[in-house]
Structure 1
């Protein structure tokens, strides 16, 4: 009996750690009556101010997030696990099961302070197993790619044990390419990185889940992180969203599962196995 009470107490303490901290909440009420918590997209400067941090420190911490530019378009990506490995979405390179862009024609772009740096991709890229059926495509919409040479950043960390999704756990989304951010520029100009604290919602299975994070075009491929103090580990990457125009006619509304939410592929299974294998083979830790 005492062991059972101890286990319950431990579970409560862990959940409290997941759901405490961060800047002041923006509390709202969803149209279905369920409460929701969201923090909105913040620039690095805004995030630093909200958390009483130096802007340079924030820039260094999130320097691994950048943009993947390919001939057919651009998406977010991040250096993960090793300095010559990036994670992003499979649809940066293919449409469902049909490849459209060779990885060596793409480049990864990031900022080191005010200096923009560009690294071409190598031909080595791994993607989720091709799935034709629409409901399951999201779980395969991930890619692990190799850079031609290492980036000069600290890679994002991977937790090697199996990840467990916690409903309403507070998490951190970092978008490398947010073209809707204030002061945006596109093409060869500077891009805006945004940071957002939000929550895991509707963890339907271990392959995909939803959040109440707010994203716009360009966010595909960006990462979601679990926070342990100053330590961050990646939980998954965004591959799409639900924006139901009938439910949300003005283009903005609060979380409602399968109506307004962001969709993630979980860093588990084949995705995690491939990422860990690629990182272990890298000499650019």
Structure 2
């Protein structure tokens, strides 16, 4: 229950702020022309772009799956379980946010889609810190606060969000490598590499959405769709990596 409250309170605050005029100048795409997948007029709005809409179910299923996964050999480690549950709930929430964005093309869901991406990456830093140094409420609050506030860069420049996201990705990879060096093994290294490769695919395929659509194999299942597949895989392998390290850290403490 505490993990649910942890996720819902910031979400409620962000939703409230996103529906004010604070972010009216933030550059977000509110047109189907932004996506290479063609809109199907005969379908309802929540399936306007069938593949890009339905892929969001993957985030929900992934989050639910990891919510019910218990950390083997870590049953008494509440901080590791708590951080896992928060991360899983973030995945559950993120899918519907993206889906609402595509279904409505309103500014508020578009802002939330960008904004929620940042604390998801930031939570990797928190989990890595739990593995290496143990739980610190002060550290978690500092990281999350800085992450949410960093979206303010989008108010300062049209590419402010991209800058903030790039920094979040870099910090997440850095903390992951540091945790791997201190607590990892060959299996965790494999998961780390797969997570990083999935992240690269997520970024590259999203940026190349329209370029790839020139080729027949990317005209229905577009680059944006496959970028979301990579994003889900990135989530999954991050879970695999961090839970593996959590188990290793617990064994060493014994």
Alignment TM-score > 0.5, same fold? no
Q: Sort the TM-score into its range (normalised by shorter chain).
A: under 0.3
Determine which structure has the larger strand proportion and give its number.
1
- Under a length normalisation based on structure 2, what TM-score does the superposition of the two structures give? 0.27
Normalising by the residue count of structure 1, what TM-score does the alignment of the two structures yield?
0.25
Q: Which structure features the higher share of helix residues?
A: 2
